Amino acid sequence: MTITDLTSIFNALKALMVRYSPPLVVKGEDDSHYDLWSIKNVVIAERKRKEVFFAALIIQKSYVGFYFMPVYTDEEARSYFKPELLKILKGKSCFHIKKLDAELLAQVDAALQAGYLLYQQKGWI
């Protein structure tokens, strides 16, 4: 079954993301926006940071934006994605999701798991 209603897509993806809080912290949440951050003092590219963005969902006009920072912070993170997910990658870290089926949902789930492990390995969580 394919979901095309943006609110339903948002809710299905959010259900995957909420499993990571805690330890990740929700910094923004409403009916059309949800984001996760790691609140931890770290040094990234020789810069001190008090927090690290992990992922977000935002309902846009014609799609749900899935913003996934691990792909931005590590070049090898693209290897997490299968062709179906790469096809909807716009820019470096934003996926435009207009329809969602079980296969794409599983791919997003796998990417979240791999990204979370990457952040753990880097000591960002």
What pLDDT, on the 0 to 100 scale, is given for residue 3? 76
Whether 112 maps to a domain, the answer reads yes
Specify if 1 maps to a domain. Answer: no
Average pLDDT over residues 30-55: 88
Which H/E stretch holds residue 83? helix 83-86
In tens, the pLDDT along 66-99 reads 999 888 777 776 777 788 878 888 878 889 999 9
Residue 119 has pLDDT above 80, yes or no: yes
Going edge to edge, which strands form the sheet with 89-90? 25-30, 33-44, 47-59, 64-68, 94-97, 89-90
- Asked if 41 and 49 touch (Cβ cutoff 8 Å), the reply is yes
Q: What is the pLDDT of residue 44?
A: 76
Q: Which domain holds residue 103?
A: 6-121
H/E/C letters for each residue in 14-69? HHHHHHHCCCCEEEEEECCEEEEEEEEEEEECCEEEEEEEEEEEEECCCCEEEEEC
| pTM of the entire predicted model | 0.88
- The pLDDT of 22-49, averaged and rounded, is 88
* pLDDT recorded at residue 72: 75
CATH for 84? 3.90.1150
**How high is the mean pLDDT of the chain?**
88
